[in-house]
Amino acid sequence: MSDGNKPVDEFANPDDLIAVADKPPENAAITRSSELPPEELNRLTDDIIAGLKTVYDPDIPADIYELGLIYRIDIGDDRTVKIDMSLTSPNCPSAQELPIMVENAVSSVPGVKETKVSVVWEPPWDPSRMSDEARLVLNMW
């Protein structure tokens, strides 16, 4: 993303960008199975988040995880994953396609049996849910 004609990296120290990118949003609640081994749960959780980070709202140059659109990730004992997500507004032009994109991204993670995505409106999404990485990409400092 740019501000005028300057790329983001002209505004920030590259080391700062790495530190920001490593900080996950604090608003995605993750509930995990007690039946699966901890190593398996950690791998699944990391891979699911990595999958979610490949999904972008076509109108916003930040992934949906960093935007704070993922409210809950529930990994069941049978490796079924339930995702609660929101959209930036009820009138979002991508309202039909984003949940399908999320389902496809999470379903492609090795070890995930099934993925169910629900769009929720409570609490309503607002920009405070965005991670520092999303704020940096969107130049919202």
Q: For the chain, which residues make up each domain, given as ranges?
A: 2-137
CB-CB contact of 75 with 45 (8 Å): yes
User: What is the tens place of the pLDDT at every residue in 67-95?
Assistant: 999 999 999 989 999 999 999 888 888 88
Query: pLDDT value at position 27?
Result: 64
Query: Which runs of consecutive H residues, i.e. helices, occur in the chain?
Result: 14-22, 38-52, 97-107, 132-137
pLDDT of residue 14: 36
**DSSP designation for 40:** H
pLDDT at residue 113, rounded to an integer? 95
What mean pLDDT is predicted for residues 124-141?
Answer: 86
Q: Exposed, middle or buried, 86 (CB in 10 Å: 0-12/13-18/19+)?
A: buried
The string of pLDDT tens digits covering residues 88-128 is 888 888 889 999 999 999 999 999 999 999 999 999 998 88
Give the pLDDT confidence of 27-37 residue by residue, as tens digits. Answer: 677 777 778 88
Q: In Å, how far are 36, 56, 111, 135 from 64, measured between CA atoms?
A: 27, 6, 22, 12
Confidence band of 26 (pLDDT split at 50, 70, 90)? low
The structure's pTM equals: 0.76
pLDDT higher than threshold 80 for residue 138: yes
For residues 45-84, b (16+ Cβ closer than 10 Å) or e, as one string?
Answer: bebbbebbbebbbeebebbbbbbbbbbebebbeebebbbb
Q: Indicate the SS3 state at residue 5.
A: coil
Q: CATH number of the domain at 2-137, please?
A: 3.30.300.130
Q: How far is CA 90 from CA 36, 45, 122, in A?
A: 36, 28, 11
Nearest to 55 by CA among 4, 2, 130, 106: 106
Using the predicted structure, report yes or no on whether residue 20 has a pLDDT greater than 70.
Answer: no
- Predicted confidence at residue 32, as pLDDT, reads 72
